[in-house]
Amino acid sequence: MATYSALAKYSKKMISEIQWKHLLPKYWNWKKIIWPFRVLIHPLKAYNEIKYEKAGSVGLSFIILAAWFFSSVYEYLEYGFQFTTNKVEMLSVLSEFMSSAMIVVLWSIANWAICTLMDGEGWFKEIWIANSYATMPLVVTTIPLTILSKVLTIEESSWLTLLGTVAFFWTVLLMLIANTIIHQYTIKKSIFSMVLTVLGVFILLLLVVLLVSLVAQFWDFIEVIGQELMFRFNG
Amino acid sequence: MKLFTKIMGIVACIVIVASTVLLPVSALSVAPYEGYDYDPYGKATAAPLGYIPDKKVTYVDMNVVGGVGQSGAENGLNRPEDMFRYNDTFFIADTGNNRIVVLDSELQFVRDYTEFTSADGSESYPILSPRDVFVREDTIYVCCNETKTNEKGENYKDGYILSGDLEGTLNKFYGKPVHESVEIKDYEPLTVVVDKSGYLYIRALGILEGLIILDKEGEFVQYYGANKVVMTWALVVQAMWKKVFGRQSTSTTIKAVPTEMSNIFMDDEGFIYTTTSTDTVAADLRLRKINPLGENTLIPDANAIISTVYGDRAITSELEDVYVDEEGYIAVVDLKMCRIFVYDSRSVQLTVFGNAHNQLGSIKHPTAITKYGEKYYVLDQISGSINIYKPTEYMKKLVIADKYYRDGHYVEGEKYWREVLKYNSNFSIGYAAIGKSLLEQEKYEESLAYLKYGQDRTSYSAALAEYRKQYVRENFLWFVPLLVACAVAFIKGIGLIQTALGIRREKQSIKFK
């Protein structure tokens, strides 16, 4: 009982310490909020600042990933009718999440696991921030491209493909730069570590699937034992 | 208050019971099946009934003379396999009674054929378990099947095809095809169609190379129009398992050979339609219209063929027979769920009807379909009867509207489509047709909405291009200032951001504390 009251006291204190008025826009640090755009314009400088001057922010990285997730949901729902067969009923938020924000989570874990072994100098926090910020091109282009797709005809769809491809490769390039600077690698070693990271992501996925199926089977096992016991005791 | 709620509860119960009991009865009095069709995503949606049962004609009603019914009754049809309409006459292959029965337009017995004898009486062949009958230019073609025993005592099938005129005089006997490239052990012809120049297209049991073409004199010409072998994932996976576990242990055997067709039909223009019943063939190739090169020319509508029963699980259809009328409407019989799909010549699905029960309008085992006037005649093998279905008002309107649509007269057909949509607001082709009509009338904004409902993406794109042009032209006056304002705001905004980031004019990077 005592622990519970202590916990309640602690959380009460935590809540009372939050300065709610700082959520108002006039207290926002605009410089910090638009700082991620600097990654787009001056990637080398920006990543050096993340590495050596602690310019990145974990909170902002979550906001960027959330923006990416929501913009990909928006893309699914609102993409030009002439290009897709998407339906609102068929939208799966989980699969949208897996194909956007979850990639960064898996990538960061795999990259951290592999680059620690490869003499990388990055911390997990740095890797996380750098890779979240590297998705900025996708965050910035998804919504404008979706709006553009509403006014383009099927014959002009190559523009969408072109811009989408540019955004994708821009992101890949940013990730390469981030990887190089955060871990202080040469380009060659950086590319090699990224290839290994892709493999690592697949291994992670495999582990997750294995774990899920194992838990499911274990749960089945317990359930069956419970049923057997019920049969035994009920006669 | 309590009493009041109790009374309300009783009233509600009565209403619910009454609605569940009474409403289906009134619906079933028209047809024992529900009307439905499929949306562009392949999902079954409610629709009005397209065809409703008119009457059921049993062999007793036909006044059939001779033969034995399946249950042993005298004067009947025994497991009839096929029905063919030639002008106003119906020919039924009465398989169990080894004869061809001829019915008039009222489905009354006229005569039967049990054998064909040549004019001089020197040759005579019996009609043995006929599987198919085909008539062209007053000549009857019958697929006959006979089991013989060779000198080693083994049974083998030796079928033949007889052609004779309407009087029962033998024209020609077509035996087993003989050619150096043909090697057939058991020859069992199941379906025959004949083209204008007298070539026979024969579908025989177990012949996987395709249809056998015989010329007028009975000489083998070539095989034709086999199903393509499709490399599916199932085949790949099976090949892999075979590698791992050896040949014997695979329980399911999917063969990498062309699948047999389940029936063929020749329309008035001489095109051959084929159906395939198994699901080893891709869904959109189970119904084909093949050109002289043996390729499919039908626009596929895969959704409908593989489709689900209304509101129920997905069941692969077993296509049993196909009939195509003069206007190109295709009717396909599904043996599995005893229903008939109706398509127009562009394979737009119009309606589905029929089911397997015991009421009027239900079929136990449909084996053949034909159309006479605007009614469909379906042969039921088990009861040896013919079910007649007549179109509803909805179907008649739909046919008119669809005709305008097929011919490309979108504007003229618009009002008919609007009537059809009053009956069936789920019919997506109707919206597409109205959208195209509005596009022709240059009402682009409305057209976009209708084409979206109709899921017509190509036309939507075309309408969008026109609408865009129109919109810019009409709003040009404030478009230019808006663009200028946007450009100014953009440049200013960039400048502001640069100032905020501290990268304007000064080269060194900003520092965060």
Residues B358-415: pLDDT tens digits? 888 888 889 999 999 889 999 998 888 899 999 999 999 999 999 998 888 999 999 9
Q: Does residue B157 contact residue B145 with C-beta atoms inside 8 Å?
A: yes
Residue B512: pLDDT band with limits 50, 70, 90: low
Residue B40: pLDDT band with limits 50, 70, 90: confident
End-to-end CA distance of chain B: 71
Helix or strand or coil: residue B6? helix
Give the containing element (helix H, strand E) for B376.
strand B375-380
User: In chain B, what residues touch A35 (CB-CB under 8 Å)?
Assistant: 501
C-beta neighbour count of B43 within 10 angstroms: 12
**Identity at B259, one-letter amino acid code:** T
The helix, strand and coil proportions of chain B, stated in percent and rounded to the nearest 5, come to 30, 30, 40
Average pLDDT over residues B93-119: 89
Greater confidence (A29 vs B216) lies with: B216
Residue B156: pLDDT band with limits 50, 70, 90: confident
Q: Bridge partners of B332? A: B322, B341
Q: Is B41–A85 a contact, with Cβ atoms under 8 angstroms apart?
A: yes
Q: Which of A35, A53, A81 sits opposite B452 (nearest CB)?
A: A81
Q: Give residue B142's pLDDT.
A: 92
CA dist., res. B427 & res. B46, Å (int): 10
Residues A3-54: pLDDT tens digits? 788 889 888 888 888 777 777 777 777 777 888 888 988 899 999 999 998 8
Q: B39, B506, B510: best mutation site toward chain A, by most A Cβ within 10 Å?
A: B510
Residue with tokens 């310019």: A55
> How many CB pairs below 8 Å do chains A and B form together?
47
Average pLDDT over residues B193-204: 90
Residues B224-233: pLDDT tens digits? 888 877 677 7
What's B106's DSSP letter? T
Greater confidence (B36 vs B458) lies with: B458
CA dist., res. B497 & res. B93, Å (int): 86
Q: A82, A90, A149, A156: best mutation site toward chain B, by most B Cβ within 10 Å?
A: A82
Q: Which of B460, B500, B501 sits opposite A81 (nearest CB)?
A: B460
User: In chain A, what residues touch B510 (CB-CB under 8 Å)?
Assistant: 31, 49
Please provide the average confidence, as pLDDT, over all residues in chain B: 83
Quote the minimal CA–CA distance from A35 to chain B in Å.
Answer: 7
- ipTM of the complex, rounded to two decimals: 0.78
Q: Does residue A34 contact residue B500 with C-beta atoms inside 8 Å?
A: yes
Helix or strand or coil: residue B140? strand
**Identity at A200, one-letter amino acid code:** G
Greater confidence (B496 vs B91) lies with: B91
Residue B296 burial class via C-beta count within 10 angstroms: exposed 0-12, middle 13-18, buried 19 and up: middle
Q: Give residue B2's pLDDT.
A: 66
Q: Is A38–B501 a contact, with Cβ atoms under 8 angstroms apart?
A: yes
Contacts of B291 (CB under 8 A, 6+ apart): B271, B297
Q: Bridge partners of B93? A: B82, B100
Residues A174-227: pLDDT tens digits? 999 999 999 999 999 999 999 999 999 999 999 999 999 999 999 999 999 999
Residues B326-342: pLDDT tens digits? 888 999 898 888 888 88
Q: Which residue of B has its CA nearest to A45?
A: B509
Q: Is A34's Cβ below 8 Å from some Cβ in B?
A: yes
CA dist., res. B176 & res. A180, Å (int): 77
Q: Is it the case that residue B24 has pLDDT exceeding 70?
A: no
What percent of chain A clears pLDDT 90, i.e. is strictly above it? 68
Residue B41: pLDDT band with limits 50, 70, 90: confident
Q: Give residue B27's pLDDT.
A: 46
User: In chain A, what residues touch B512 (CB-CB under 8 Å)?
Assistant: 32, 49, 53-55
CA B16 to chain centre: 39
How far is residue A111 from each of residues A45, A55, A66, B169, B406, measured CA to CA in Å?
A: 22, 21, 21, 87, 59
Q: Does residue B510 contact residue B498 with C-beta atoms inside 8 Å?
A: no
CA dist., res. A77 & res. B270, Å (int): 47
What percent of chain A clears pLDDT 70, i.e. is strictly above it? 99
Q: Bridge partners of B355? A: B362
User: In chain A, what residues touch B502 (CB-CB under 8 Å)?
Assistant: 31
